[in-house]
Amino acid sequence: MIEKETHYWTIDPNNIQQENKKIAEAATLLQAGEVVAFPTETVYGLGADATNSDAVAKIFQAKGRPADNPLIVHVAEKAQIKTYVTEIPQIAEKLIDAFMPGPLTVILKSNQKIASIVTAGLDTIAIRIPDHTVARALIEASGRPLAAPSANTSGKPSPTQAIHVFQDLNQKIAGIVDGGEAGVGVESTVVDCTGELPLILRPGGVTKEEMEAVVGEVLVDQALKQSTEQPKAPGMKYNHYEPDAPLHLIQGDTAFFQAQIDQLISESKKVGVIASEELANELQASHIKQIGTRSDLKTIAKHLYDALRFFNEKEIDIILCETFTDQGVGQAIMNRLQKAATKEIKQ
């Protein structure tokens, strides 16, 4: 890949009106068919004009992303969703009204106005409205729907800070818009609304329980962990979120977790630990990354990807991480950890 200059803008999301010049500069690059990374409430996205096949191809090139992995289209307001779909079923309408802008992506029937490279040739489109002032301002300024997967090298942990994007994609993309740390920390929930009942294809920032409170029964795709078919949504088929060192998930009590650490140390391994505050306070290890409290799993989700990147420059041989409940946002946390892990060890 030919190296290119990567423009970098720091934008205050709380004073967006004063940042118009920077937003306009980034939007001009998008209009010219370039790729620009930008913040959303979930993770940083790697955006390109979703109606421009050549522009979107640059996303796949920069990330090293498989071409049969569809992209999510980001728009600024609900009216724009109708521009790119054949219809919005009543259940989808209820979900959109309840959770957008926000960390929810709906899959609807496409009217083919979006480039086929975005939908991987499928007759459906994944679309959402991000709940981030910078993201929506950029979409509006560009006048384009933006196809935007996570702004990282394919297969690696998603970026929740602009520095993560810079580490992966500097000189591979035209620009990075730094709008601060992402608040949710895991990607949007992807729900297929083309069937009789909503079907979760990827758990994320909106939980199954939250959706069921609005529309009743919501199904969960049984192929969440691994699918060999062409994926209908991002995150379904390929390995994702992998840190540089092997990641082992440890399911057991504190003594069992400590025994795994001690065994590896006895083998002269340098061990990194990712743990909740509760577990971290009970373990004896030289390299522990605390990621939040079990009593509020949203804190775990927010810090998960940063933790998966944390040990990359610390010459760690192996990373051990505790497991969490699969209820609520815990379903999204465990989905990401299981895709990132090379092994699961149970007591």
In this predicted structure, what is the pLDDT of residue 186? 95
202 is in an annotated binding site: yes
CB 27 within 8 A of CB 141: yes
42 is in an annotated binding site: yes
Is residue 103 scored above 90 in pLDDT? Answer: yes
Asked: is 247-346 a CATH 3.40.190.120 domain? The reply is: no
295 is in an annotated binding site: no
In this predicted structure, what is the pLDDT of residue 227? 46
Q: What mean pLDDT value characterizes the chain? A: 93
Mean pLDDT of 88-99: 98
**Architecture of the domain whose range is 7-220:** Alpha-Beta Complex (3.90)
In this predicted structure, what is the pLDDT of residue 228? 45
pLDDT tens per residue, range 14-42: 999 889 999 999 999 999 999 999 999 99
Whole-number Å distance between alpha carbons of 304 and 326: 15
In this predicted structure, what is the pLDDT of residue 230? 55
Neighbour tally for 1: CB within 10 Å: 9
* 64 torsion bin: left (phi>0), alpha (psi -120 to 50), beta (else): left
Q: Which range among 97-111, 149-163, 233-247 shows the weakest confidence by mean pLDDT?
A: 233-247
74 is in an annotated binding site: yes
Is residue 77 scored above 50 in pLDDT? Answer: yes
65 is in an annotated binding site: yes
268 is in an annotated binding site: no
188 is in an annotated binding site: yes
Whole-number Å distance between alpha carbons of 138 and 339: 31
Cα radius of gyration rounded to whole Å, the chain: 20
Amino acid at 309: R
CA distances from 343 to 116, 186, 224, 300, 319 (A): 36, 21, 17, 20, 11
CA distances from 182 to 15, 61, 133, 241 (A): 17, 24, 12, 16
Residue 222 makes CB contacts below 8 A (sequence gap 6+) with: none
pLDDT tens per residue, range 285-316: 999 999 999 999 999 999 999 999 999 888 89
Instruction: Kindly state the DSSP code that residue 110 receives in the 8-state scheme.
Output: B
32 is in an annotated binding site: no
Amino acid at 268: S
Domain ranges of the chain: 7-220, 247-346
The token pair at 195 is 């069937």
